[in-house]
Structure 1
Amino acid sequence: MQRHLRKAALACLAAGFAQSATAQAVCDGVVVFQCATDAEPREQITVCAQDARFSLVCHALETGEPYDDTPLIAEAATTWFRWQEGDDLRVGLGFWSTDLGAPVTLHASLPWDDMEEAVAQDGPAEMWLQSAHWHPDVDQTLCLSQTVYADTEALWAPLETRGPIGLFFSQDVVVPEPNAVGVAEVMPLPSGEGLAVYATARPNAATPVWWQLYEGDTVDVIAREGDFLAVAIPTYGVTACLIRPEQLYTPYQGPCATGWVDGTYLDRVQ
C-alpha cells in the first residue's frame, strides 16, 4: 500500500512539484483523493478527511485558489458511498454542493490486487466528478490518469461513524408504524421534474437530495412526520423493501436506504 501511495504521489508531482505541494493545503485534514484535469488553466480536485466528514475542493493547480465559495461536504455517517472490489476497485463518494444546491459524486477506478486485498502497485487509475445520476444530461469532469492520487486507508476513520443502511440517505431515524406503512405512486408534479428525496423531514435549501422519484414510480412508505413521508429506496442490488411485522416500532435498519418526500405528491395505492 505505501509503495502504491508513493507512486501515486509521484504521479501528482509529475504535474509540477510546487503546484502539487500547494494543493495539499487547500482543505483541512488528510488528503484522501487528488487529481488534475486537462482544463486550461490547469485545475485540481482535492478530497480531505477530517473527523467524521469529507470535504472536496476544486481549485487552481498552480495557486491552490478554490473555485467555489464553500467546499463540497460529505457527512461520513449518511452520505452516498460505494466500495466495490473486482478486477478493479470502484469507489464513489457523494458530496453536497451548497452553491449548486445539488449532489456531486467523486468516482474512482483503481487497480486492485484481490490476493492482497489492497490497491495494486501498477495498473490504470481513473477519477472523475459526476452530477446527479437522475439528471437527463449527466455532467462529468474527467481527471488525467497519471495525476490520480488515492489514499484509500484514510477513508475508513471517518466512515466508522456509519450506521445501518437504513440511515442512508436519511439523517433522521425512521421508525415504521402500521398507520404509515404502505405503497404509494408518484403523482404528476407541477414542474414536470422529479420528486426530491430529502435527507430530513424538515428540508430547506441546504438539505441534501440524494435521490429523485418520477411520475408513475411506486415506492414503499414506512413512516410519516408532518407533511413528509419516509420512503424506502432499493439500492445496492436490493429489489424489495417490504416492512415485516417485527420491523414495526423500531428504528429501521434496512436493507433499503431511506429518505423523505413531500407526501402531497404521493398517491397511496396499497
Structure 2
Amino acid sequence: MRTFRLPGAGQWCLLALLLFNLLPIYFMFENSFKSPIAFASSTLNFPQEFLWSNYSTAWAKISEPILNSALIIAMSVAAIVVFAAMSAYAFSRLRFPLQNTLFLLVFGLLLIPGFLTLIPLYLQIKKLGLSDSYWALILPYIAGGQAFSIFVLKTFFEQMPDELFEAARIDGAGNIRIFSTIVLPLSVPICTTVAIINITGLWNDYLLPSLLLNRSHQTVTMALVSFEAAAGNYGLSDYGGMMAAYLLASIPLLLLFSLLMRNFVEGIASGSIKM
C-alpha cells in the first residue's frame, strides 16, 4: 500500500524556483494581448479585451529575422559539433607531437573575453568582403564555439572504455571508421547538449550581428531591438506588441528544448559537464 508523503523542504524550494522562473513567461503572455492603454493601467492582470492584432504585427516584424537566425545557427552549430568532435577525438584518442601544448592553447581561448576580439574580427570580416552576408556570422560562430565544445567532448571521449577501441582496432577498423561507427553513435546525448548550449548562446547574441549585418540579413535579436525603438508613440509605447514579439521569438528555443530534453539530460548526467 502506497503512503502519501508531504513534500519536503527541498521540493517546496524547487517548486518556488519553478514558479519564480515562470513569472517572466506569464508576464509576457498576459501583456501580449493588451493595448498601450490597458498595459499602462495594469501589468499583472489579464486584459478584458484580447488584442490579437499584436501577434500579427509582431510576426510581420520578426518572421524573416527568425528564419535568418535559424539558418545561420543551424549551419554554425552543425559545423561546431562536427569539427569539435573530430578535434576532441584526436586530442583524447590519438598521440601526436605537441598534443598537450595544442590542447592548452585551445583551452586558453576560453579565458579570452569575446569583446576583446570584436575590432580585429570586424576588420577581418570587412577585409574578406563577407560583411552583410550570412557568412559574416557563420564563420566567427564556428570558430568561437570550438574551444568549449572541444573541452566538453574530449572529457566525454576519455571516459569511454579503452577495450572498446582496442577491440575495434583488432577487427581492423581505422580511426575514421571508429569515429563514425562507434564514437559518434555513443556521443549523441553529449553532442545534443553541446548543440543546445551553443544554440542558446547564438540565438540570444546581439552585439556581433549588429556590427556585421544590415537590415536585409538581420537576426531576431536585431529585429527585436529595432521593434522596441519603433514602438514608441508620443510616450505611449506598444508594449503589447513587444511582448508578443518576445514570446514568438522564444517559441523556437522552447520547442527545441522540449524535443531534445531527454538527450540533453542524458548528456548532463554523463558527467562530462559539472553544472
TM-score range, shorter chain: under 0.3
Query: For the pair shown, which has the larger CA radius of gyration, 1 or 2?
Result: 2
Q: Which has the higher helix share?
A: 2
- Give the structure-2-normalised TM-score: 0.22
- Give the structure-1-normalised TM-score: 0.22
Higher relative contact order (CA 8 A, sep 6+): 2
